[in-house]
Structure 1
Amino acid sequence: MSPILLQTQHLTKAFKGFTAVNGVNLTVRRGTIHALIGPNGAGKTTCFNLLTKFLEPSDGRILFDGHDITREAPADIARRGVIRSFQISAVFPHLTVLENVRLGLQRQLGTTYHFWRSEASLRPLHARALELLDEVGLAPFANETCVNLSYGRKRALEIATTLAMDPVLMLLDEPTQGMGHEDVHRVTELIRRVAVGRTVLMVEHNMNVVSTIADTITVLQRGAVLAEGNYADVSTNPAVLEAYMGSEATSLQGVH
């Protein structure tokens, strides 16, 4: 089994003369947490959209687990185990916490869209759903309606539903965006915990989070790779500090 799970080769996306992603070569090693960072407009989310085929590349290739997936449809890529969460909370607010996770698990039964099936047909998924909720610290809230959850717990639930899809690669898009300090800490520790034995690629703006859990960091600027390495290397790279500027540059230097 190759140690490289995901690789892009000269990945490029142009929009009518504007190049949002420009020749990005990215290598994500199996069993690691890899962070994609950069100033606003650097091309991070566009990269995610290319990897999950919400956008078609203008040029370049995407290799996943040794297979060229550049021209595959989004559903086919998801079936390979490339599962993504989004910046905006995406739970079903009027279902319970348990029901949200169980929807993700229904794929195993082939009944994801069979909403007319009886409750009894879903009972085989109950135990596994509870296991996943326990893994993300939400087991005590299993029967809570999601609309009543705090923002941080909703993001934890999204990670549980992502895990329910049995991901080979988890793509987490700004998992701590909009959170207070306590929720940031809780979700950071959650990502560290669920990443054991898994591979995570995350877009993240919070340098405290990145410095704490990322094995490898790729820095983008204007759609191109500016630097790559561990946090100690990246945080002292003059080009990275110049790209972030001001207070963000200070935070890169001050967090170790």
Structure 2
Amino acid sequence: MSSLANGTDDIILSAKALTKRFAGFIAVNGVDLNVRRGSIHALIGPNGAGKTTCFNLLTKFLQPTSGAIRFNGRDITALAPAAITRLGIVRSFQISAVFPRLTVLENVRIALQRRRGDSFDFWRPQRVLSAYDEEALSRIEEVGLTPFANAAAGELPYGRKRALEIATTLALEPEMLLLDEPMAGMAQEDVARVSALIRRISANRTILMVEHNLSVVADLSDRITVLARGEVLAEGSYGEVSKDQRVVEAYIGAGHE
């Protein structure tokens, strides 16, 4: 597991009474969440628990009906996704989002251009674009993709594509990384590889992830929040929440062994 910053309760991201109502339906209902700086925090729960909606609220892809979200003490409730990215929050998606016809290096280079505010100038001379290569290769090395730097992204195995997606998010220099189902659809060997990658990149970052694979959650997470029917059911370490009878009945007992 990651080491917590100074062993303190330094909160980097918090939600207070977070609520999202759709027509005739409350998807998230009064959720309080505190993510400590330097931790790996997992958000889990059975299907329909409100995890994805909560994740979309925190990353501002949805606007809450009520409640507040703070990042580094700043109220970000009304900000757009691009604005919170500039503040240092970057998210991934369940479906790998890479440019399949571009190489691994070119994918990461695009992310670097975006971070620096440059346009995606594919037409510029190669010598100009090559100015990004050193940093891009550093990010590629960080996620273990150096042997694939010149390979087309679309030709990579699925787990390697997810690693590339993480490399592109790291290129944006996030202080906090939000991972949406990072192990979804992976073979076991890819799960092990990406788990090791997440542990490695968490050394100087905070990570919040939604994940169904409980063995991954148990292995990586410092703290876990369990949602059920849009509300916080339990919170604590894996050892604590896995012994909570309410969690057993609502989540583990629902067939998520």
TM-score for the superposition, normalised by structure 1: 0.94
Report the CA distance between 1:108 and its aligned residue. 4.1
Structure 1 SS opposite 2:185: coil
Residue 46 of structure 2 is matched in structure 1 by: 39
Residue 59 of structure 2 is matched in structure 1 by: 52
- Are residues 1:26 and 2:29 paired? no
- Work out whether residues 12 and 36 of structure 2, in 8 Å CA contact, stay in contact via their aligned partners in 1: yes
Residue 74 of structure 1 is matched in structure 2 by: 81
Matched to 2:211, the amino acid is E
- Are residues 1:9 and 2:16 paired? yes
Identity of aligned residues (%): 61
From 168, 175, 180, give the equivalent of 1:173.
180
From 129, 140, 153, give the equivalent of 1:146.
153
Q: 5+ unaligned residues in a row in structure 2: which ranges?
A: none
The farther-off stretch of 225-234 and 70-79 is 70-79
Report the CA distance between 1:84 and its aligned residue. 0.5
- Are residues 1:247 and 2:255 paired? yes
CA distance in 2, matches of 1:70, 1:116: 38
Residue 94 of structure 2 is matched in structure 1 by: 87
Residue 211 of structure 2 is matched in structure 1 by: 204
- Are residues 1:129 and 2:136 paired? yes
Matched to 1:80, the amino acid is L
The farther-off stretch of 5-14 and 123-132 is 123-132
CA distance in 2, matches of 1:154, 1:226: 34
From 234, 240, 243, give the equivalent of 2:241.
234
TM-score for the superposition, normalised by structure 2: 0.94
The farther-off stretch of 117-126 and 142-151 is 117-126
- Are residues 1:220 and 2:220 paired? no
CA distance in 2, matches of 1:115, 1:12: 42
CA distance in 2, matches of 1:118, 1:136: 28
Structure 1 SS opposite 2:189: helix
CA, structure 1 residues 113+172, in 2 after alignment: closer, same or farther (shift >3 Å)?
Answer: same
Aligned residues: 249
CA distance in 1, matches of 2:238, 2:194: 19
Q: Deviations over 1:4-23 (max 9, x none)?
A: 10000000000012000110
Report the CA distance between 1:24 and its aligned residue. 0.5
Matched to 2:230, the amino acid is G
Structure 1 SS opposite 2:112: helix
Structure 2 SS opposite 1:133: helix
CA distance in 2, matches of 1:178, 1:54: 23
Matched to 1:40, the amino acid is N
- Work out whether residues 90 and 176 of structure 2, in 8 Å CA contact, stay in contact via their aligned partners in 1: yes
Report the CA distance between 1:78 and its aligned residue. 1.0
From 151, 166, 183, give the equivalent of 1:159.
166
Structure 2 SS opposite 1:86: coil
